[in-house]
């Protein structure tokens, strides 16, 4: 799994490369910036680290609830990687911190490559679930969001609270930093995407992803939300993933959808849907540096889809062994990690 500078990528040739197993369903997964490890958050409250070459499995134990959000901050601040975006091609192997967050409102910071990782510090971050984390491009700030309707900014070096951004009216599901370092993007249950001016700590504008939300009058409940969010490396495209066309909230009867925005104008550029009908939610999305978009879904099984930005229908899809719950792109751009309900992280190769 050594990073290669000039990958020969062909999504239509995607195939399973490796599989790493845990004995509890997984919720989220991320490669570390060095590309040596893949991390996953699980329903047994553990974070699991696998060394990609050796397969060595290490448990990071300390959370009190389920873990989905993972993000890395490199101490020298060269290359950073947020939960939902900022996919880079870092070759760095410098020490870095892993931030993991749980549904009990806590964020733990870990030395990500240590032999027996212990939490370096703990943040009592949110009231209720922490849904997502992201690290700023210069590595100095951590953003978190959660069920208390808040987005919070933290100092990476000391874990101090820098700013609390209030403005969402419901659970905040995702957060990413824009590569310009001046803006933060957050998205919520109701599909409202807010762009924050970090210098002012104020909302600059809103984008409309409400197609990913519905209030189901039969069940009297909210369904949907921006379940995954990613930016292109140049910051021109923003993708929000989730479920749409919901006809039965409590059975999850609906279809996956990725709303692709032109970030500058804030307008929807494309609604990316599976070509073959699929019932479920798009739980993960990444934008590949070569221009295609990959998404995974779970519902009645699992699927991996690939789209081009100018076409609403996928140009290739791959049936997965079971429900997929998250997706990440390796720093080398050649591999995808997918977290599954069956406790596995599977690594897929995009190479010809």
Which positions touch other proteins (CB under 8 A)? 24-25, 43-45, 64-66, 102-104, 128-129, 147, 171, 218-223, 249-252, 280, 298-299, 322-323, 341
Nearer to other proteins, 181 or 252 (CB): 252
Nearer to other proteins, 12 or 251 (CB): 251
- Residue 137 CB, nearest approach to other proteins (Å): 31
- Residue 157 CB, nearest approach to other proteins (Å): 30
Beta sheet of 141-146, edge-to-edge order: 130-135, 141-146, 150-155, 161-166
Please state, in angstroms and rounded to a whole number, the distance separating the CA atoms of residues 151 and 130: 10
Nearer to other proteins, 112 or 244 (CB): 244
Nearer to other proteins, 60 or 96 (CB): 60
Count the Cβ atoms, other than its own, within 10 Å of residue 64: 12
- Residue 29 CB, nearest approach to other proteins (Å): 16
Element (H, E) at 327: strand 324-329
- Residue 174 CB, nearest approach to other proteins (Å): 14
Q: Give Cα separations from 265 to 206, 208, 225 (angstroms).
A: 11, 12, 22
Nearer to other proteins, 44 or 208 (CB): 44
Please state, in angstroms and rounded to a whole number, the distance separating the CA atoms of residues 345 and 336: 10
The residue whose two tokens read 């009592």 is 124
Q: How many CA atoms lie within 13 A of 148 on its CB side?
A: 19
- Residue 161 CB, nearest approach to other proteins (Å): 23
Nearer to other proteins, 250 or 315 (CB): 250
- Residue 152 CB, nearest approach to other proteins (Å): 19
DSSP designation for 134: E
The count of residues in the chain is 352
- Residue 45 CB, nearest approach to other proteins (Å): 7
Residues 6 or more apart whose CB falls under 8 angstroms from that of 330 comprise: 1, 3, 31, 35, 336, 337, 347
Residue 92 exposed, middle or buried by CB count within 10 Å (0-12, 13-18, 19+): middle
DSSP assignment string, 255-282: EEEEEEEETTTTEEEEEEB-SS---EEE
DSSP designation for 138: T
Please state, in angstroms and rounded to a whole number, the distance separating the CA atoms of residues 293 and 236: 13
Nearer to other proteins, 12 or 221 (CB): 221
102 with 114: CB under 8 angstroms?
A: no
- Residue 270 CB, nearest approach to other proteins (Å): 26
The residue whose two tokens read 């601040």 is 77
Nearer to other proteins, 316 or 341 (CB): 341
């Amino acid at each position: 799994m050594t990073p290669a500078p000039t990958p020969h990528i062909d999504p239509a040739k995607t195939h399973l490369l490796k599989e790493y197993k845990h004995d509890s369903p997984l919720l989220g997964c991320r490669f570390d910036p060095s590309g040596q490890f893949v991390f996953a958050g699980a329903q047994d409250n553990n974070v699991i680290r696998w060394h990609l070459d050796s397969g060595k499995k290490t448990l990071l134990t300390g959370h009190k609830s389920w873990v989905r959000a993972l993000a890395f901050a490199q101490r020298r601040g060269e290359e950073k990687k947020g939960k939902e975006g900022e996919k880079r091609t870092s070759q760095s192997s410098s020490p870095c911190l892993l931030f993991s967050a749980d549904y009990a409102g806590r964020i733990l910071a870990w030395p990500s490559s240590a032999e027996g990782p212990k939490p370096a510090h703990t943040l009592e971050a949110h009231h209720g679930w922490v849904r997502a984390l992201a690290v700023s491009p210069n590595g100095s700030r951590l953003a978190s969001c959660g069920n208390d309707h808040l987005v919070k900014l933290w100092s990476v070096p000391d874990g101090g609270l820098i700013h609390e951004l209030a403005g969402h009216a419901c659970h905040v599901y995702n957060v990413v930093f824009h590569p310009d370092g001046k803006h933060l993007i957050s998205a919520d249950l109701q599909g409202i995407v807010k762009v924050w001016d970090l210098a002012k700590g104020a909302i600059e504008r809103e984008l409309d992803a409400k197609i990913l939300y519905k209030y189901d009058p039969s069940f009297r409940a909210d369904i949907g939300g921006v379940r995954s969010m990613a930016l292109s490396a140049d910051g021109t495209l923003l993708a929000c993933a989730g479920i749409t066309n919901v006809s039965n909230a409590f059975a999850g009867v609906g279809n996956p959808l990725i709303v692709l925005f032109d970030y500058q104008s804030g307008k929807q550029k494309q609604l990316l849907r599976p070509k073959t009908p699929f019932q479920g939610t798009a739980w993960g999305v990444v934008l590949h540096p070569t221009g295609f978009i990959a998404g995974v879904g779970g519902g009645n099984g699992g699927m991996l889809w690939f789209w081009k930005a100018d076409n609403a229908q996928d140009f290739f899809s791959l049936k997965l062994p079971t429900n997929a719950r998250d997706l990440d792109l390796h720093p080398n751009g050649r591999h995808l990690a997918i977290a599954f309900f069956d406790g596995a992280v599977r690594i897929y190769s995009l190479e010809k």
